[in-house]
Amino acid sequence: MDFPIDGWSRPFLRDTMRLERKMARILDGTAISAAIKEEVAEEVRKLVAQGIKPGLAAVLVGNVAASQIYVRSKVQTCADLGLYSELITPPETVTTEEMLDLVRSLNDRDEIDGILIQLPLPAQVDTKALLDAVDPAKDVDGFHPVNAGRLQAGRPALAPCTPAGVIEILKRSGIPIAGQHAVVVGRSDIVGKPAAMLLLHQNATVTICHSKTRDLGAVTREADILVAAIGRPGFITAEMVKPGATIIDVGINRITDRVEFERYFAGNAKREAAFAKRGSTIVGDVHPQAFELAGAYTPVPGGVGPLTIAMLMANTVRAAKMRRGL
């Protein structure tokens, strides 16, 4: 017997998935990121011709391998696009006061337009105090309360890079936003809240959900645009998606357990080969089966992820122009 799932029957879901599978469109974040970087490089060339070279200071504390790779890729991207950059590497034992002194010195340097502090920081460093100390005009991560307030008020601001990338994916892919019901699953200050605000500014009707939302599936099934940013692997399942919806998967979750791998990628030969070679793979906050029901979706990897660095570069150039009244 086929029992209904939150008002949906299993045969209906299977049949609908089969019908929608050929229609699902992959939103290529890598290609969109490349286009944005080309535009940034052109903006940099114009500014350099005026005697202005945008500059980014990246602060990386300690020796976390993953953070080192990520930050160095940001510094390399600066070089590729013609921006000035510095990589500053305080020791793991750095104190809050030492970090505050560093931020103050970067605030005062005119050739530095953007300050990036790679998180997480060591436990002895007061992260909130440090982020609040960054000059809002140089806050290219968009984390400062002043920029959060400007974003809420719809005033010019440096928006967090990942949510800004979500909007770029939608707009550059020709996905309608105005008048659509956008459901954001996740309420973090870094992704969920600013993504909801940016969607609202694009005239979407926005619902924010989280782990305490009652009957979450009933809400997500109403979404024309579903943004998953809850930080739980495969949390959004097919039963939670309206057929034809656009799914934006912000999650990046590394899995190393074979049982967990089978839960998401059983029968996927390409993923199987990669998992066998590396002992791990990446899954988003959306179960891969849910993409079969979508009208369009961002894959993981290759979706939202590549936009983060591209939008960081765009924010650095924007900060350089805003600081000079251009």
Q: pLDDT by residue (tens digit) across 42-89? A: 999 999 999 999 999 999 998 877 788 889 999 999 999 999 999 999
Beta-bridge partners for 86: 57
Q: Which domains does the chain have, with CATH numbers?
A: 51-141 (3.40.50.10860), 160-307 (3.40.50.720)
> Rounded distance, CA 34 to CA 32, Å?
5
Q: In 3-state terms, what secondary structure has residue 326?
A: coil
Q: Which residues contact 158 (CB under 8 A, 6 or more apart)?
A: 136, 139, 140, 141, 142, 147, 315, 318, 319
Annotation marks residue 289 as catalytic: no
Verify whether residue 74 is a known catalytic residue: yes
- 96 pLDDT more than 50: yes
Beta-bridged to residue 9, according to DSSP, are 4
The predicted model scores a pTM of 0.90
Percentage of residues in the chain with pLDDT exceeding 90? Answer: 88
Using 50, 70 and 90 to split pLDDT, how confident is the model at 22? low
pLDDT of residue 65: 78
Q: Rounded to whole angstroms, how far apart are CA atoms 253 and 36? A: 25
Mean pLDDT calculated for residue range 283-288: 97
Which residue, among 236, 172, 185, 159, has the nearest Cα to 35 in the 3D structure?
172
Catalytic choice (113, 135, 139, 141): 141
Pairing of strands 281-283, 253-255: antiparallel
Q: How far apart are CA 8 and CA 6, in angstroms?
A: 6
How high is the mean pLDDT of the chain? 92
For the record, the structure tokens of 16 come out as: 């609908």
What CA–CA distance (Å, rounded) separates 240 from 236?
6
Is 171 one of the catalytic residues? Answer: no
Q: Pull the structure tokens for residue 23.
A: 């229609």
- 113, 118, 135, 138: which is the annotated catalytic residue? 118
